[in-house]
Amino acid sequence: MMKIKTLNLIVIALFINQNIIAETPIKSKLSIEFGTRDIWHTPNSTTNNNQIDLIDYFNYTDDYPAYEYLEIAEHHWWNSKFETDIKIAVDQGFLPNYLYLKGIYKYKKWLGFSAMYVALPQSLRLYDAFQSFEPKVNTYIKQTDGKRIYNYDHCFGAGIYVPIDYKFFHLNFSLNLCTSISPAYKRTVYLYSYSTNFHAIYDYNVKSAITFFVLPELELNFDVATIGKGNLGFQFKSNWMTNQKTIPYKLNKMEWTADNSIEQNVKPMSQKITKFEFDGGIYFRW
């Protein structure tokens, strides 16, 4: 009797699942886009004890965007309730630029909830902090990745998701509350003077930091042609965020000899960081 009841439950579950899939056939959308990421910051007029504020040496927008990237993405409709969105991007040197993962639950046709993870690059030009150092010194960083420090902020978020579909036009809007975790790392800067006997070793032990921010996202899709059972179209999307960020670190300074070392704990004041992304490309949906 128990086996018969179990078999009946399995049959009912399969029937319900088939009905859900029948309501919304499994669909996918592949897209490729080129985009830019602009980043600005508002520097503080003062820092603690006039120490170096590492945020001042991130990649920022000046005459050119802070980052340019090529993105490949796949959006998948598993059934009428669940969707996933995966985006991977590379920079001009085809190095990984960011990873974007999102899961979506459709509560209503026009309203859903989402959870996301994003890995965003933070390119830090630490050596630039010593270009105006007195006395004049030659600077190099004792790391295999050279003078540029390339780390990733790990962002986790959740929010609302609003899809609008009308014939050939598709709009997706989401509003996410996010937290960003900047990982800890260590770097050693070696300094020596061109004309004097000045030598120094600066050991930076950067601490992990957490920030919170709101991330609105907007995506527009336009179907322009039908190919077989699928649609070819143009896609444009953008997102924006702003937050207050600081990077605390412990600095061990050894000047002249290793015996003459000074250890300092530095926590600069928070700075306002603003990021804006825009990209466009083509997609195929089937």
Out of 19-23, 154-158, 236-240, 278-282, least confident range: 19-23
Q: Is the pLDDT of residue 7 over 70?
A: no
- The pLDDT tens digits of the residues spanning 76-96 come to 999 989 999 999 999 887 878
- pTM of the predicted structure, to 2 decimals: 0.80
Domain ranges in the chain are 27-285
Only one residue has tokens 């960020």, namely: 245
**Mean pLDDT in the chain?**
81
Per-residue confidence (pLDDT) for residue 147, from 0 to 100: 58
Which element (helix H / strand E) includes 180? strand 169-182
Per-residue confidence (pLDDT) for residue 21, from 0 to 100: 41
Per-residue confidence (pLDDT) for residue 3, from 0 to 100: 42
Q: What topology does CATH give the domain 27-285?
A: Lipocalin (2.40.128)
Q: Is the pLDDT of residue 12 over 70?
A: no
The answer to whether residues 77 and 28 touch, using CB atoms and an 8 Å cutoff, is yes
Confidence of residue 201 (pLDDT cuts 50, 70, 90): confident
pLDDT, greater one: 267 or 161 = 161
Alpha carbons 105 and 142: distance in angstroms, whole number: 47
pLDDT, greater one: 24 or 228 = 228
What's the full length of the chain, in residues? 286
Alpha carbons 260 and 201: distance in angstroms, whole number: 11
